[in-house]
Structure formats: C-alpha cells, structure tokens
C-alpha cells in the first residue's frame, strides 16, 4: 500500500514538473500556433506561393527575436508571419525565442 502511494506521488511530481517546465518556457504563448507550420521538417506553406518553412528549433534566441520584430515592423515581408508577429507582444516574442532556442 505504501509502495503504491509512493508511486502515485512520484507520478504526480513528474507531471507537475513538466507542466512547470512548459509554463516556464512559453508562458501564455501558444506555441501550437507556430507548430502547424514550423514543426514539420521539410514542410512547405502553399500560400501565397510555395515556401519552404524554416525550422526554428535550435536557432539562436536573438535571431528568432530579431526575425519576429522585423516581421512586426514590416522590414521582413511574409503575409502569414507578419500577421502572426503583429499579434505578439514583446514578452511573447522573448518567450517564444527562448522556447525555440532550447529545442533541438
Ligand atoms: C502559416 C504558416 C506559419 C505559421 C503559423 C507560423 N509561421 Fe513562422 N514562418 C513561416 C514561413 C513560410 C516563414 C518564412 C518566411 C520568409 O521567408 O520570410 C516563416 C519564418 C519565420 C521566422 C524566421 C525564420 C528564419 O529562419 O529566418 C521566425 C522566427 C518565425 N517564422 C517564427 C514563428 C513563430 C514564433 C510562430 C508562432 C507564433 C510562427 N512563426 C508561425 C510560416 C509560418
């Protein structure tokens, strides 16, 4: 009985730990809105023309941050990325950049 309790407690700790990890890395930002395009190796977006979607995982934090801010300001042009970057706050961008730079 005691063993079972220990196991349950450990399982609880494990899932709590991963929840903290995710929250710590991404805050309120929903990475799932990026994964649709950036999560698939070799994926090509077909709008407005066929585009190779760059992989974000493992990019430097600063690079991702700069890219998103450039889309926001219209210095870098891509309709979907400009739309998405425009909806992000500086804090969102910092969190997303931190999140992706830690991915392999
Ligand atoms: C509709 C598909 C789509 C979605 C959703 C999307 N992206 Fe992109 N993203 C692209 C494409 C296509 C490019 C390449 C555009 C270009 O060449 O400028 C790109 C480029 C980028 C770049 C520049 C990468 C580089 O190597 O220069 C960053 C950073 C980026 N996206 C971050 C994000 C983040 C963060 C999200 C989620 C908040 C996101 N994207 C959601 C399609 C998407």
Residue 71: predicted pLDDT: 97
Question: Distance (Å, rounded) from C-alpha 85 to C-alpha 83?
Answer: 6
Residue identifier of the C-alpha nearest atom 37 of ligand 1: 34
Count of other CB atoms within 10 angstroms of residue 9: 10
Domains and CATH numbers, the chain: 29-101 (1.10.760.10)
- Segment 73-85 shows an average pLDDT of 94
Instruction: Indicate if the pLDDT at residue 40 is higher than 90.
Output: no
pLDDT, residue 45, reads 62
pTM score: 0.73
% of the chain surpassing 70 pLDDT: 58
* pLDDT at residue 42 is higher than 60: no
Centre of ligand 1 from the C-alpha of residue 24, in Å: 22
List pocket residues of ligand 1, CB cut-off 6 Å.
Answer: 33-34, 36-38, 45, 51, 53-54, 56, 64, 67-68, 76, 78, 80-81, 84, 96
Query: What single string gives the DSSP state of each residue in the chain?
Result: -HHHHHHHHHHHHHHHHHHHHHHHHHTT--THHHHHHHSSTT-EE-SSS-EEPPP-TT--HHHHHHHHHHHHHTSS--HHHHHHHHT--HHHHHHHHHHHHT--
Q: How many Å lie between the centroid of ligand 1 and the Cα of residue 71?
A: 9
């Amino acid at each position: 009985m005691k063993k079972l309790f220990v196991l349950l407690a450990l399982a609880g700790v494990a899932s709590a730990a991963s929840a903290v990890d995710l929250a710590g890395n991404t805050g309120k930002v929903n990475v799932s809105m990026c994964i649709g395009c950036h999560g698939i190796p070799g994926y090509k977006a077909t709008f407005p023309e066929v585009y190779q979607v760059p992989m974000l995982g493992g990019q430097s934090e600063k690079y991702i941050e700069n890219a998103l801010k450039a889309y926001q300001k219209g210095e870098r042009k891509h309709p979907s990325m400009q739309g998405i970057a425009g909806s992000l706050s500086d804090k969102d961008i910092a969190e997303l950049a931190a999140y992706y730079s830690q991915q392999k």
